[in-house]
Structure formats: C-alpha cells, structure tokens
Amino acid sequence: MHLALFLIFGALCVAGALNLLLQRHPINSALSLIVVMSSLAVLYLLLGAEFLAAAQVIVYSGAIMVLFTFVIMLLNAGREERTRGSKMAYVIGFPGAAVLLALLADIFITHSGEFHRVHAGEYVVSTAALSGVLFRDLLLPFEVTSILILIAILGAVALARKEH
C-alpha cells in the first residue's frame, strides 16, 4: 500500500518537474509546480510528517503558488521563446551538474551504512511532538530564522517603496 502510493506520487512528482521545464507557457509551468509541491506533501505524509505535509499544501501549493499564478495572470505573460541557451551553460553547467551528481552518489553509496533507514508508514510524528522540538529544544535557531525572515520582509518593503 505504502509502496504503491510512493511509486504513484513519486512518479507524479518527477513528471510534474519535467513538465515544468518543458512547458512553454508560464502558467502551465506554474501549475506543474503545484503538482510537484502537492505530491511532495503526500511523500511527507508517507514518512509520517503529517504537520509538514499539511503545511506544505497550505503554504506552498496554496499561498505561494497562488501568488505565482497571480503575477503571471497580472503581467499577462506570453509564451516563452526558445533560445539555443548560453554557451556558459554548455561549458560549465552540464559538467558541473554531472560532477555534483557523481559527488552526491559517491557520498550516499560510501556512507549508506550510517544513514538511519525509515520505512514508509512506520510511524507518525504528532504535531505536539514536532512543536516540542521546534519551540523548546530548537528555540534559538527557530527565533533566529524568524528574524532572518523579518529582515527579508523589511528589505522587500524598502525595495518596493516608491522614491520620495
């Protein structure tokens, strides 16, 4: 059951991500991104992170992607033009991506014994347990992150403000 769900939503996630890159109209790309986010939420749920799954849907699929589509609709963005791509992408991008992939694969293979294996559907992290970790054990990092976000918001306001 869990394996079947994982396969279905994992495939959906990859298909959405590919569609995001291949679609030529921005709104289709944005919709594919919503599919990716939502199927990620299901994968979180399979791993027992129920709060994270719900937050993923509410924040990413709901709020952030609505803003994306809002902006695309407001700007009335047309179809993208196909270009050959920049030369830099071919010279540095593809070898770079290959190196990164090889590096990650190497780390995962050599250290695979040290990872803690989790089977899908094994346990569920309750919201209470999560908030215990977040607001008690990791309170300082949590608050520092919130200040970071506040600074980012202030920066956005300062940039968007009209000059007087």
Which residues here bind another protein, judged by CB under 8 A? 1, 27, 31, 34, 38, 50-51, 54-55, 57-58, 61-63, 66-67, 69-70, 73-74, 124, 126-128
Q: Decide whether 14 or 67 has the Cβ nearer to another protein.
A: 67
Query: Please, which residues have CB within 8 angstroms of residue 27's CB and are 6 or more apart in sequence?
Result: 69, 72, 73, 77
| Rounded Cα distance, 22 and 29, in Å | 8
Least distance to another protein, CB of residue 83, Å: 24
Least distance to another protein, CB of residue 120, Å: 17
Least distance to another protein, CB of residue 72, Å: 8
How many residues in the chain? 164
| Rounded Cα distance, 117 and 74, in Å | 46
Q: Decide whether 63 or 151 has the Cβ nearer to another protein.
A: 63
Least distance to another protein, CB of residue 92, Å: 37
At residue 150, φ and ψ (nearest 5 deg) are -60, -45
Q: Decide whether 106 or 122 has the Cβ nearer to another protein.
A: 122
Q: Which position has the token pair 């190497």? A: 106
Q: Decide whether 22 or 92 has the Cβ nearer to another protein.
A: 22
| Rounded Cα distance, 109 and 114, in Å | 10
Query: With left for phi above 0 and alpha for psi between -120 and 50, is residue 48 left, alpha or beta?
Result: left
Least distance to another protein, CB of residue 125, Å: 11
Q: Decide whether 103 or 134 has the Cβ nearer to another protein.
A: 134
